[in-house]
Chain A
Amino acid sequence: MSVTTTSTPVETATSVTPVEMGATAAEIDASCRPPVLFFFTSAGVWLVLATVLGLLASIQLVAPQFLSGCPVLTFGRLRPVAENALLYGFASQAAYGVLIWMLCRLGRVTLCCQFPYLVAGAFWNIGVTLGVIGIFAGMSTSFKWLEFPRLAGPILFIAHMVIAVAALVSFHSRRERNVYVSQWYLVGGLFWFAWIYSASYLLLNSVQVRGVLQGVVNAWYMNNFLMLWLGSIGLASIYYFLPKLLGRPLYSRGLAVFSFWAYAFFANWTCFGALVGGPFPAWMISTSIGANLMLLLPLVGMALNWYQTIDGDMDTIKRTPLLNFTVASAAFFLLANVLQILLSFRSVSMVTSFTYAWGAYHTFFIFGFFALAVFAAIYYAVPRLTNIAWPSEQLIKLHFGATAGGTLLAGIGLLIAGIVQGQGINNPNVTFHDVLRSTNIWLILAALGGALIAAGQVAFLLNLLKLARTHSEPFRRSAIAFVTGNDAPIAGVKR
């Protein structure tokens, strides 16, 4: 299986010479297996659900009467469900799986404990399920990306804290004292998510800050959920796999240190780019625009570091399917952020604010950057965790092509739709109905992109479930044998 074998043999490429040897890779993988597989599998299921619901919602944008007779599936409920299922069901759980495994690998320690992760993972899924049902039932809080009814909040937060504390125990007991770039991002992500989620939840639902401050808190949360939570995990994956799969060390640690702190500091000030013209104090929006400009510093630092690490080695990239994921993810990260910076300028946002254009940014960031980054980790880690090769390499290629291509198509469609929409809204001689009609063709393009993305994720889930089936075969057989009392060995199954 080339996916698992063409990756370079240099397992330690990402870290400098080990001072003291910790656990071996095989031991670490064995210790991580149950929780990481649990998070990856449930993330895959939510991912397919979210992309299919998202596709239905994007069809409704073109054909408003589609499914409109059904209160549960009205656009105002479908869209938040699809977004929340994607962000909490898929993205956060995939992030947990990646960060547990990566923290152990980079720290050269076996996982401290499996049970808390599994319990927290189960509760996380319960929380997301309750939240999704709540939105469908009309109990949404209406705060974007915090739409889950209040009940779900504490469940998700406590589950996250259990995972974070357990992961920090692994980080603390690391044997490899040299802390690698990815670890800063992983630890940062765990801490930042705990803070933004609890603070926003309390300020919006318990303290109930007044008036537009709710909008401020909500924008702060959305920005940091993307930049600091998903962003951290995705960047950790890029910094980990780019040197590892290329088989050469990261170009510059100093540059990585600089990029990390500059990103950590400026990215959480860029909240109000999408709110230009809104009823907020002008200094807030100006500060955000300034922070957006400063964000160019870490972006240039990262781009330079990655570019120099790749060092023109297109051959290895072509030969290694997983590198395609990582390189494309890095490119989408830069693209998404540059787009975000452009969209927040006052002269541009005059046209693009409150339009589909911001959907393009979200698509590039979530599917292009974050999802591709964690897929690389999943495709790399799962065969090592289970000792089973991916059942189909074709499906992996299909998954990559559909996700990257679909993201590009959907993003471009939404961006152009947004520009057309914004120009139409700013021209008072065009009726609103005509504004809508003029965006239709681009929204159809975006929906096609969405369909492609959804198809890719189905391919991914099929591959994953097939592998999980093979993996669970011995357990299932022995469970059947235990129940039926028939302990005869079964041909072809390794115990």
Chain B
Amino acid sequence: MNSGPLIFFGIFLTLASSFWGFLLMPQMKMGNQQVTEIAETGQLYPIGHSGMAGQGAEVYRSLGCVECHTRQVRPRNLGGDIARGWGNRRSVAQDYLKDYPVLLGDLRVGPDLANAGVRHTNEIELLKLLYKPQSVNMGGMPGYPFLFQRNHLTQGQQPSADALKVEGEPADWEIIPSENARALAAYILSLRSDVSLFEAPLPPKPKPAGQDTNAAPASATNAQPAGGAPAASAPAPSANPAK
């Protein structure tokens, strides 16, 4: 252990092992993964985020949303994500194929957003949440008032059509969401990874007797907790998206 070159060679080999094993080999194996066609619908998946949602992805990155929100649903046997209604199946590599940067996140100060677009469908409510989380009972999240413009209204002036109506705000002020706020909302509304994939099929839907097949499709919002707990004890995320 006194020879410089020998030490150096060993040092090189040790890191080379994991560089090869964890970076090069997976890149060779998975680097060519392609967009896939979904058997049921014939649509391509994933399609990525374009237009407003694409701009929103940049806002999401820039504000560091990833610091508090993961976007990965763990499998049923490794945590309560699916039971909580954060998704109807685990997340797999295919879901992230079109994302750059991929924002998996590593801390859940806030709920997982892999399927935020399944739980949230109302843009106005989402904008209120971004402006002032307390107004929609989600005080655990910081507000982003700087994404909104506040204008003072003169006597008798009507707020513009875009203005948000936020509880607890004075009536003579109008709150207009900026381009960035709308883009961010569009992006969050577009987040969903709930299609059935070969490597992550959706659980078979229980078919209650007497119902025809035209019933509304079961989405993540109706996901039953593992073991088929009665609906009364199951979470109802549509009523409270904060879950």
Contact = CB atoms under 8 A, between A and B. Distances in A.
Interface of A: 60-61, 64-65, 68-71, 74-77, 79-80, 135, 138-144, 171-172, 177-179, 184, 187-188, 191-192, 195-196, 199, 203-204, 208-217, 220, 224, 228, 253, 257, 261, 264-265, 268-269, 271, 274-281, 284, 287, 346, 349-351, 353-356, 358-359, 421-422, 425-429, 431-433, 436-437
What does DSSP make chain B's interface, helix, strand, loop or mixed? loop
Interface string B137-169: 111111111100000000000000000000000
B108 A216 contact: no
A187 B6 CA distance: 12
Main secondary structure of the interface of A (DSSP, over half): helix
A138 B147 CA distance: 13
A138 B140 CA distance: 22
A268 B107 CA distance: 22
B172 interface: no
List 3 tightest A-B contacts by C-beta distance, closest first.
A76-B64, A277-B74, A426-B80
A79 B68 CA distance: 10
Interface string B87-102: 0001111111101111
Contacts of B22: 216, 220, 269, 271, 284
A358 B22 CA distance: 21
A207 to B, nearest CB: 9
A264 B242 contact: no
Contacts of B100: 208, 214
Interface string B41-76: 000000000000000000001111111101010110
A432 B109 CA distance: 9
Given A213-B31, A355-B107, A428 B235 contact: yes
Given A65-B143, A76-B67, A188-B11, A142 B108 contact: no
B123 interface: no
Contacts, number: 236
A268 B15 contact: yes
B14 A265 contact: yes
Nearest to A263: B14
Given A64-B139, A75-B67, A429 B233 contact: yes
B227 to A, nearest CB: 11
A69 B66 CA distance: 19
Nearest to B14: A264
